[in-house]
Amino acid sequence: MPRPFAQPEAAPGTLRFSVLGPLTVHRDGRALPLGPLKQRVVLAALLGSANSPVSVDALTDAVWQEDPPRTARKNLQVYVSALRTLLGDDDPLRPRLTHTGGGYVLRVAEDELDLLRFRSLVREAETQAPRQTARLLRQALDLWQGPPLGEDLRQSPRLAEEAERLELRRLTAYEGWAEAELELGGAPAVAEVLRDLVERHPLRERLRSAWMCALSAAGRQAEALAAYDDYRQLLARELGLEPGGAMAARYRRILAGEDGARAGAAARRPAARPPAVLPPDLVDFTGHGGELRDLVGFLEDDGAGRVVLLSGPAGSGKTTLAVRAAHLLGDRFPDGRIHVCLRGGDGRPRPLPVVLAELGERVGRSGPFGPEAWREWLAEHRVLVVLDDVPDEGAVRPLLPHGGRARVLLTARGQLGGLAPVHRIPVPPLGTAESVQLLTGLIGQGRVRADRESALRIVRACGGSPLAVRVSGMRLAVLRHLPLREFADRLTDPAGALDELTSGDVSVRRWLAHGWEALPQEWGRDAGRLAAGTGEGPFGLTEAAEALGCDERHAVRVVEALIDAGMVTSPCGEVTAHAAQYELPHLVRLYARACGLGTPVLTPG
C-alpha cells in the first residue's frame, strides 16, 4: 500500500492527500476508504485543481464522459456529501469542501497534498544555484510513488489528460535535476537514472541530451555518440525531422572529445536565467480556477495551437490570469517568458515600431528589429510571450508566430474576431464566494466575519470585477476606521459609487474610461443607449431594439459588434438570436449612466 508522502510530524487528525501515484488519503498514517470509482474520480478532479473551483460541468465530464444520466447533478451531490463525511468536514468557519458560484472547491494546504508540495519545490528550484537546485528537485521527485492517479482513474479521459500533464512536469523536473547534477560532477548517477527514462520517452530531446552528456562525462563516449545517432534515426523515421541545433552542437563537442560535464554546464548556463520579464505574481490570486486550468493545459500541450486569447471587460482579471499562468509555466519555456503591454499608460495603442523595439530589447537584440526578425527569433526559441491589452487585430497580427515552439498569450477586451486560428478563453466575472475570499485576504477575516452581510453588499456592488474588489479592499485596508456597512452604502449609491472605487493612483473609473475611449464613436453611443435603456441584469433582443431605437435585425448587428468589442456579454449560452440574453457588465453600465453617455431612444408609434 502506498505510504503518505514524507512530511514533519503533524497534529492528530491531519490529512495527507496523494495523487503522484495511486490516489490515496491518509489520516494519522492510516489509509481512508475512498469509496466507489465515480466518487474517487470526483475527489481526484477536485485535488487536481485544489483551492480553485471545479465546475459541475467539468465534474460531470470527468465522471460520465459521453452520456451523463439525467440524475448526474444529484449523483454529484451525493458523492460530494460522502466526501465531506469521509474528510471530517465539520469546521463551519472554514469548511474543507464548499460549493461556490463557480463550482466545488476542495481546500488543501501545501503540506497536505503532494502535488502542491511538488509544484512549490520545482518553483523554488528555478532560482537557485546548482547544488540547491539538485537538492530541491530531488525532494520533489521523491514525492512520486508511481504513475499519477493510478490506472483505474485514468479510465476518465479528463483525468487521463491531467495524469499526462503531471507526467510531463515530472520529466521536466528530472531534466532540471540531471543538468544540475552534471554541473556538480554527478555524471555516473545521472547516466543510470536517465537510461530508463530515455527508453520510455525516446523523442524527448532535452532528456536525451542530458543523458548524452552524462555518458560522455562518465567516460562512456562511444555510448554517448550512439545515443545521438539512435535519436537522429528515430526522429527522421518518425517525424521526418533533424535534431535541434543545440543537440547537434552537443554531439560535435562530444565527438571532439570535450568533457561532457563541462558541455552540460555550458548548455545549462544560458537556460539557468532565461529572460523572465514579467509583472509580479499576486500572492492572493483568487478565482478563475477553471480558466487558469484550461489556459495552462493549452500552453503546456505541444500539439495545441500557438496563440491563445483571454478576453473580457476592463478590470475582469485578464492580465492577472495571464501573469499567473506565465509564472506557473517557467519550467515549460526554457528560453524565457516575456510580457509587453500594447497600450500606454493613457490607454492609447502603442505604435508597432515602439513595441518591436521593446521586444528586441527584451531578447537582447540591438539595432532595428522588424516583424520578420521577431518572427525568426520566435521560430527558434521555446518562449512564452504575453502581449497584454491588445487594442485590435492589426496591432498584434505582425507579432504572431508562423512556426516553431513559441507560444503567444494575448489579453484583450474584445474578441479579436479577425485573428485565426486562436484558442479563445473568455474571462467571466468572479462569483460571490470568490469575491468575498479576495476581499477577506485584503482586509482580514475578522473584519469580514464581524459584518458578513455588508461584505456581501460590497462585492455585489463590484459586479464580479476583481479590479473593483481589489480596489475596495485596498481602500478599506487603509481606512481601518470605516465600517463595512458605511462603505457598502456608498457603493450602492449609483451617483457616487465610482468615486469610491479609487485607492491611491488606482482608479476603476480611469480603467473604464480608457475602455470607452477606445471604442469607435458609434459603438460608444450604442453602448451608452443600452446602458440607459435596459435594466440591471440580462436583457433580450426586444429590449435592446427599444433602447437603440431600431428594429431587431439591426439591433442584433449592434449587440454582436459590442460583444466583439468586449462591452456586452452573452451569459446564457448558445441559443437562437431571438431568444438570446445579453448583459452589460455592472461597472460598464454604472460608468455609462454616471457619465450620461446614452439616452434611451423612443421609437415612433
Helix residue ranges, H only, 504-551: 508-517, 521-533, 541-548
Q: Residue 78 has what pLDDT? A: 93
Q: Residue 335 has what pLDDT? A: 82
Q: Residue 41 has what pLDDT? A: 93
Residue 66 has pLDDT above 70, yes or no: yes
Q: What share of the chain is helix, strand, coil (3-state, %, to 5)?
A: 55, 10, 35
Write down the domain spans for the chain. 1-173, 185-273, 280-423, 432-511, 519-594
| In the block, residue with C-alpha cell 528515430 | 234
Q: Residue 605 has what pLDDT? A: 35
Residue 75 has pLDDT above 80, yes or no: yes
Q: Residue 174 has what pLDDT? A: 92
Rounded CA Rg of the chain: 27
β 97-100/103-106 pair status: antiparallel
Residue 342: which of 385, 412, 389, 410 has the closest Cα? 389
Q: Which numeric CATH code is attached to 1-173? A: 1.10.10.10
Dig out the grid coordinates for 158 from the structure.
479528463
Sign of CA dihedral 50, 165, 285, 309: negative
Which CATH code, of 3.30.420.610, 3.30.420.130, 3.30.390.50, 3.40.50.300, is assigned to 280-423?
3.40.50.300
Sign of CA dihedral 487, 493, 496, 499: positive
Q: Residue 1 has what pLDDT? A: 44
Q: Residue 603 has what pLDDT? A: 41
Q: Which of 125-129, 145-149, 365-369 bottoms out in mean pLDDT, i.e. has the lowest? A: 365-369
When pLDDT is cut at 50, 70 and 90, the band that residue 309 belongs to is: very high
* Predicted confidence (pLDDT) per residue in 474-493, tens digit: 899 888 889 999 999 998 88
**Contact between residue 360 and residue 374 where contact means Cβ atoms under 8 Å apart:** yes
* Predicted confidence (pLDDT) per residue in 247-291, tens digit: 777 788 888 776 444 444 444 443 334 556 788 877 667 788 888
- Rounded to whole angstroms, how far apart are CA atoms 44 and 158? 10
**Contact between residue 576 and residue 424 where contact means Cβ atoms under 8 Å apart:** no
Q: Residue 247 has what pLDDT? A: 75
- Rounded to whole angstroms, how far apart are CA atoms 585 and 572? 14
DSSP 360-417: HHHTT--S---HHHHHHHHHT---EEEEES---HHHHGGGS-SSSS-EEEEEESS--T
Dig out the grid coordinates for 572 from the structure.
446564457
- Rounded to whole angstroms, how far apart are CA atoms 571 and 593? 22
* Predicted confidence (pLDDT) per residue in 425-474, tens digit: 988 888 888 889 889 888 888 899 899 999 999 999 988 888 899 999 98
β 506-507/15-18 pair status: unpaired
- Rounded to whole angstroms, how far apart are CA atoms 570 and 272? 45
For residue 509, how many other CB atoms are within 10 A of its CB?
18
Q: Residue 576 has what pLDDT? A: 47
- Rounded to whole angstroms, how far apart are CA atoms 395 and 371? 12
User: Average pLDDT, whole number, for the chain?
Assistant: 83
Q: Residue 269 has what pLDDT? A: 41
- What are phi and psi for residue 33, nearest 5 degrees? -75, 125
Dig out the grid coordinates for 570 from the structure.
452573452
SS3 13: coil
SS3 426: strand
Residue 388: which of 353, 435, 337, 434 has the closest Cα? 337
Sign of CA dihedral 210, 213, 219, 220: positive
Residue 372 has pLDDT above 90, yes or no: no
CB within 8 Å of 194: residues ≥ 6 apart: 174, 178, 207, 210, 211, 214
Query: Average pLDDT of 346-366?
Result: 83
- Rounded to whole angstroms, how far apart are CA atoms 367 and 235? 37
DSSP 154-197: TTSHHHHHHHHHHHHHHHHHHHHHHHHHHHTT-HHHHHHHHHHH
Query: Average pLDDT of 206-215?
Result: 89
- Rounded to whole angstroms, how far apart are CA atoms 564 and 311? 10
Dig out the grid coordinates for 517 from the structure.
475611449
What is 185-273's CATH topology? 1.25.40
* Predicted confidence (pLDDT) per residue in 1-45, tens digit: 445 555 545 455 688 999 999 999 998 889 999 999 999 999 999
- What are phi and psi for residue 78, nearest 5 degrees? -65, -45
Q: Residue 575 has what pLDDT? A: 44
In angstroms, the first-to-last Cα distance of the chain is 79
Q: What percent of the chain has pLDDT over 90?
A: 20
Strands (E), 68-142: 97-100, 103-106
Our CA dihedral for 557, 562, 566, 570, rounded to 10 degrees, sits at -60
Our CA dihedral for 108, 109, 110, 112, rounded to 10 degrees, sits at -70
When pLDDT is cut at 50, 70 and 90, the band that residue 537 belongs to is: confident
* Predicted confidence (pLDDT) per residue in 151-188, tens digit: 889 888 889 888 888 888 888 899 889 988 988 888 88
- Rounded to whole angstroms, how far apart are CA atoms 564 and 65? 32
**Contact between residue 68 and residue 60 where contact means Cβ atoms under 8 Å apart:** yes
Query: Average pLDDT of 219-237?
Result: 86
> Do 1-173 and 519-594 show the same overall fold?
yes
Residue 12: CA count within 13 A, CB half-sphere: 0
Interhelix angle for 521-533 vs 552-564, to 10°? 110
Query: Average pLDDT of 66-79?
Result: 88
CA distances from 77 to 58, 60, 82 (A): 14, 11, 9
* The domain made up of 519-594 is a member of CATH 1.10.10.10: yes
**Contact between residue 469 and residue 586 where contact means Cβ atoms under 8 Å apart:** no
**Contact between residue 534 and residue 542 where contact means Cβ atoms under 8 Å apart:** no
Q: What percent of the chain has pLDDT over 70?
A: 88
Residue 535 has pLDDT above 70, yes or no: yes
Which residue has better confidence, 95 or 19? Answer: 19
Residue 99: which of 430, 431, 572 has the closest Cα? 431
DSSP 470-494: HHHHHHHHH-TTS-HHHHHHHHT-T
Residue 120: CA count within 13 A, CB half-sphere: 10
Residue 220 has pLDDT above 80, yes or no: yes
Q: Which residues pair with 337 in a beta bridge?
A: 276, 384
Dig out the grid coordinates for 232 from the structure.
537522429
Q: Which residues pair with 72 in a beta bridge?
A: none
Enclosing H/E stretch for 87? helix 72-87
DSSP 314-374: TTSSHHHHHHHHHHHTGGG-TT-EEEEESB-TTSPBPPHHHHHHHHHHHTT--S---HHHH
Q: Residue 18 has what pLDDT? A: 94
Q: CA angle, 87 as apex, 84 and 89 as ends, to 5°?
A: 55
